[in-house]
């Protein structure tokens, strides 16, 4: 909605309370033990797929998963027609250094696309039904229909 209406949005917690770092797969340290809670957990297949993809991109690029997550959110903001501002919340100097290291991380188009696709929020009805019928509605060959250059609000 923010992009369609070209509104600004704050991108809160790009690391999902540590979820996107993969930390909780190997340790319970962090918000889980320090605060007695976790902001997000791998409670769905999509969340697991997102963490898997972040970890894979981190391995490919040779940087930390936290840096990939922050670089991904920054890249998303750079590609958006809306003003998107990532909000970070490091609790330690080491976490701040890691966040700042993300400023030097360049994701490839393929890596960005993988992250965007795996994290896409299902639009639900009626959008998914319309998308499933789109090819038929466009005469059976959607490649012959040109999409508008600018999103229509």
Dump pLDDT digits (tens) for 136-151: 777 777 777 777 666 5
Per-residue pLDDT reduced to its tens digit, 15-59:
877 777 777 776 655 555 555 555 666 677 888 899 999 999 999
46 domain-assigned: yes
Per-residue pLDDT reduced to its tens digit, 47-85:
889 999 999 999 999 999 999 999 999 999 999 888 988
- Statement: the pTM of the whole predicted model exceeds 0.75: no
144 domain-assigned: no
Q: Which domain holds residue 45?
A: 9-123
Three-state SS letters, the chain: CCCCCCCCEEEECCCHHHHHHCHHHHCCCCHHHHCCCCCCCCCCHHHHHHHHHHHHHHHHHCCCHHHHHHHHHHHHHHHCCCCEEEECCCCCHHHHHHHHHHHHCCCCHHHHHHHHHHHCCCCCCCHHHHHHHHHHHCCCCHHHCCCCCCCCC
Number of domains in the chain: 1
131 domain-assigned: no
Supply the CATH number for residue 95's domain. 3.20.20.100
129 domain-assigned: no
152 domain-assigned: no
């Amino acid at each position: 909605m923010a992009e369609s209406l070209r509104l600004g949005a704050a991108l809160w917690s790009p690391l999902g309370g540590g979820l996107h770092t993969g930390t909780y797969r190997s340790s319970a340290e962090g918000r889980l033990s320090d605060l007695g809670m976790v902001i997000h957990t791998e409670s769905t297949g999509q969340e697991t797929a997102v963490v898997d993809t972040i970890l894979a991109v981190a391995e490919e690029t040779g940087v930390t998963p936290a840096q990939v997550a922050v670089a991904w959110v920054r890249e998303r903001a750079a590609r958006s027609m809306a003003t998107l501002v990532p909000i970070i919340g490091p609790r330690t100097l080491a976490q701040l250094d890691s966040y700042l290291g993300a400023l030097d991380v360049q994701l490839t188009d393929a890596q960005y696309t993988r992250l965007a696709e795996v994290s896409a929020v299902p639009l639900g009805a009626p959008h998914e039904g319309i998308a499933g019928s789109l090819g038929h509605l466009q005469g059976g060959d959607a490649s012959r229909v040109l999409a508008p250059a600018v999103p229509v609000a």
